[in-house]
Homo-oligomer: A and B are copies of this chain.
Amino acid sequence: MNAYLIAIGDELLSGRTLDTNSNFIAKQLDRIGISTIKISTIFDDLETIKNELLQATISKADFIFTTGGLGPTKDDKTKQTIADFLSDVLIFNQDCLDHVSKLYTERGRILNELTRNQALVPSRSLAIVNRYGTAPILWSKAKNNKILINLPGVPYETRAMMEETIIPKIKSEFKLPFILRKSLTVINYPESELAIALTDWENELPKNISLSYLPAGSRIELRLTIKGEDKDLMEKLVSKEIEKLPEILGDRLISKEEINIIDLISDFLKKEQLSIALAESITGGSLSQCFTSVPGCSSYYKGGIIAYNTKIKENILNVPRALIDEHTVVSKEVAEAMAINTAKIFQTDIAISTTGVAGPNTDEYNNPVGLAYVGLFYKGEVFSEKFVYSNLTREEMILRISNKAIEFLYNKIIMNK
């Protein structure tokens, strides 16, 4: 089964707002075997919405999802358009009205007419109360046997309602095929060289297995996809192909699972009962965020110091002034001292440090924008690595150094190299 997603909102086309809803919906659908065949981002305008809905109706999609355009103010025109499209009229839905009234009473606010209108729904549609907001979710039968599902534009409302209500409803009402995806992570292999190394293997892949190369930083994810009914048979087919890979790729094939490197590190730290702390300068909290994004991280992640200022490196991280004067704050020596002292302060087995110049200007020592060091204290030893990035934006550079620090940690503690 297929889905066609329509993201509605002028702010999505002016670039003011990044559409994250469509990505989330596509991912959720993918997991239950529904392929998204198109995502259209369009203006919140009556004619435009109607035309796009017509396009979707004549496509191969079984489900049409819209997001956005369900708010209370004048610039939201979707609901009337949906009613027109379904040759239906809008009526008040008592459940939705009760929900909105209750929400307002709880918040100590008075229900006004615009908010009351949130309970207006097409008469033949199923209106699902949105327990995260005021706009209901609409589920309707449209022409050509399509199911039309209208979701709000607010990301957390859409995400929560998809997970809790829409996905279970689809699963219970439709017989779904099965999409099997297996991912393998390859490191230290440029994409084109990897493709050459895999030429023979790729040419011999069964026709119903498709292969994608998905670069992610300095890693490449190889993804095999197969769709069908017989899960066991599909598993066998794909496994047979995957088993051939270690011989071709050697230890550059790091994982047979689609897994984040941070999750591998997390599992390792838990298993080995190791603790970790951070000292961030250039990455300014971004590295810590990678660690705290993993639920349950508090069993090994103790915390960190963001030393954005040289004085803080001196006074809190106890980096000797003389060392800074001799080598500057952006140096191998300072990165290593930061890592050693952080492990001491937090009493952890491991500590990572970052220092560098993100720009826009060179630092007080005239170190160039793009220079950075990552330090690592592990099992009584200290390591460091130098990185030089030119031509990156400030934001991109901070992200890159955070990723490099995580890869450095992975290589040292798990790969032992």
Further pairs besides A15-B26, A17-B23, A284-B289: 20, Cβ < 8 Å: A13-B26, A13-B36, A15-B25, A16-B27, A39-B41, A40-B41, A41-B41, A73-B192, A73-B194, A112-B193, A113-B196, A280-B288, A284-B291, A286-B289, A286-B292, A292-B398, A298-B309, A303-B306, A305-B305, A316-B346
Give a binary string over A21-47; 1 marks a CB under 8 Å from any B CB, 0 the rest: 011111111100001111111110000
A75 at the binding interface (Cβ < 8 Å):
yes
Contact B393 A75 (CB under 8 A): no
Q: Which residues of A274-327 are within 8 A (CB) of B?
A: 278, 280, 284-289, 291-293, 295-298, 301-309, 311-312, 316
Q: Is A156 an interface residue (CB 8 A)?
A: yes
Which residues on the B side are within 8 Å of A316 (C-beta)?
303, 305, 345-346
State whether the Cβ of A20 lies closer than 8 Å to any Cβ in chain B.
Answer: yes
**Cβ A192 vs Cβ B309 within 8 A:** no
Q: A35 vs B15: C-alpha distance in the bound complex, in angstroms?
A: 10
A-B residue pairs in contact (CB < 8 Å), sample of 24: A11-B223, A14-B26, A14-B27, A16-B27, A16-B223, A18-B18, A38-B40, A39-B41, A73-B192, A112-B196, A114-B192, A154-B215, A284-B292, A285-B292, A285-B304, A288-B288, A292-B308, A295-B360, A298-B309, A302-B308, A303-B305, A306-B306, A312-B346, A316-B345
Question: Which of the four size classes fits the interface of chain A?
Answer: 35 or more
Partner of A391, one of B10, B131, B393: B131
**Least Cβ distance of A137 to chain B in Å?**
15
Asked whether B36 lies within 8 Å of A15 as measured between CB atoms, the reply is yes
Closest to A309 in B: B302
Bound complex: CA A30 to CA B14 (Å) = 6
Residue ID in chain B nearest A361 by CB atoms: B296
A397: nearest residue on chain B (CB-CB)?
B156
Query: Which of A167-175, A206-214, A406-414 lines the interface with chain B?
Result: A206-214
A18 touches B20 (CB 8 A): yes
**Least Cβ–Cβ distance between A157 and chain B, in angstroms:** 9
Binding site secondary structure of chain A: mixed
Q: Is A177 an interface residue (CB 8 A)?
A: no
Interface residues of A (CB under 8 A from B): 10-20, 22-30, 35-43, 71-75, 109, 112-115, 131-132, 154-156, 159-160, 181, 190-196, 202, 211-215, 223, 278, 280, 284-289, 291-293, 295-298, 301-309, 311-312, 316, 345-346, 359-360, 391-396, 398
A11 to chain B, nearest CB (A): 6
Closest to A28 in B: B15
Residues of B within 8 A of A113 (CB): 196
On whether the beta carbons of B71 and A212 are closer than 8 Å, the reply is no
A308 contacts across to B, CB distance below 8 A: 292, 297-298, 301-304
Contacts of A38 in B (CB 8 A): 13, 40-42
* Complex alpha-carbon distance, A312 and B342, angstroms: 12
Contacts of A214 in B (CB 8 A): 11, 16-17
Chain B contacts for A13, CB-based, 8 A? 26, 35-39
Residues in chain B near residue A296, CB distance under 8 A: 360
